[in-house]
């Protein structure tokens, strides 16, 4: 029987790279997307073309009923859940705190914090041996911003990822005796579309000289770390972090 994995926000970028690599490692994968159905279906087609199983499910991670429907769909179409990658996240235009609205903060926190909590809740319900599950693993995609704070750009996004770090530590301890491991990766300057969402598509080119390795990272390099944390090779790792930041 295939291991079953949900990767939230996996129509492109780090999520897509993770879904594709996971499929090659033997997972049946649920690719989730909010709007870009075509991109999600392309990822599914690539997985199926390699002889693996995948489905695409639309879900806004900021909406609880969407999350519940997502997990119930996976139950029906792929089978018992083995792993979750909480990758879905948003940021908005670069700005300082004094120009941020309450509505912006609510949007960021609802997706990046509440959505991650609720997806983790649904995964624990299914995977915990206390609930009759077979155990599993959760990997949260945090950010190097949780450490640096992203001053002058998006401290709200950074703070939301700080909350994800705290969730990782607390939940790992909470379910350690229920055969669930919870870890996180903190990507640094990775070549994905998220920088355009912040208003600066070429942000990595501006900042890469400040990275000890003098380059931006690739989505697959983050995916490699995620898949290691999901694997049995990381069987004694929980509540921990891998910084994929080029040393920044």
Active site residues: 157
Taking residue 200's Cβ as centre, other Cβ atoms within 10 Å add up to: 15
Closest CA to 46 of 22, 64, 72, 70: 22
Strand order, beta sheet including 27-33:
54-58, 27-33, 3-7, 83-86, 136-141, 180-187, 241-244
**Residue 53 contacts residue 30 (beta carbons within 8 Å):** no
> In whole angstroms, what is the distance from residue 172 CA to residue 178 CA?
10
* Greatest Cα-to-Cα distance within the chain, rounded to the nearest angstrom: 53
**Residue 143 contacts residue 189 (beta carbons within 8 Å):** no
């Amino acid at each position: 029987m295939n291991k079953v994995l949900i990767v939230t926000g996996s129509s492109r970028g780090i999520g897509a790279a993770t879904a594709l690599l996971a499929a090659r490692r033997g997972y049946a994968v649920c690719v989730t997307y909010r709007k870009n159905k075509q991109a999600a279906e392309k990822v599914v087609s690539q997985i199926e073309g390699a002889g693996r199983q995948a489905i695409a499910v639309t879900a806004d991670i900021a909406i609880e009923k969407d999350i519940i429907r997502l997990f119930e769909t996976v139950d029906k179409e792929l089978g018992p859940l083995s792993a979750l990658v909480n990758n879905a996240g948003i940021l908005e235009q670069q700005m300082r705190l004094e120009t941020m609205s309450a509505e912006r903060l609510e949007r960021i926190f609802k997706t990046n914090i509440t959505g991650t909590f609720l997806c983790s809740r649904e995964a624990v319900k299914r995977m915990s041996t206390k609930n009759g599950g077979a155990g599993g693993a959760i990997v949260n995609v945090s950010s190097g911003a949780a450490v640096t704070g992203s001053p002058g750009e998006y401290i709200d996004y950074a703070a939301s990822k700080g909350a994800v770090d705290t969730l990782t530590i607390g939940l790992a301890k909470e379910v350690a005796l229920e055969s669930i491991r919870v870890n996180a990766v903190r990507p640094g300057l990775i070549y994905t579309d998220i920088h355009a969402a912040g208003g600066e598509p070429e942000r990595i080119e501006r900042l890469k000289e400040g990275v000890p390795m003098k380059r931006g990272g690739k989505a697959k390099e983050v995916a490699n770390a995620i898949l290691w944390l999901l694997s049995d090779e990381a069987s004694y790792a929980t509540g921990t972090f891998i910084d994929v930041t080029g040393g920044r």
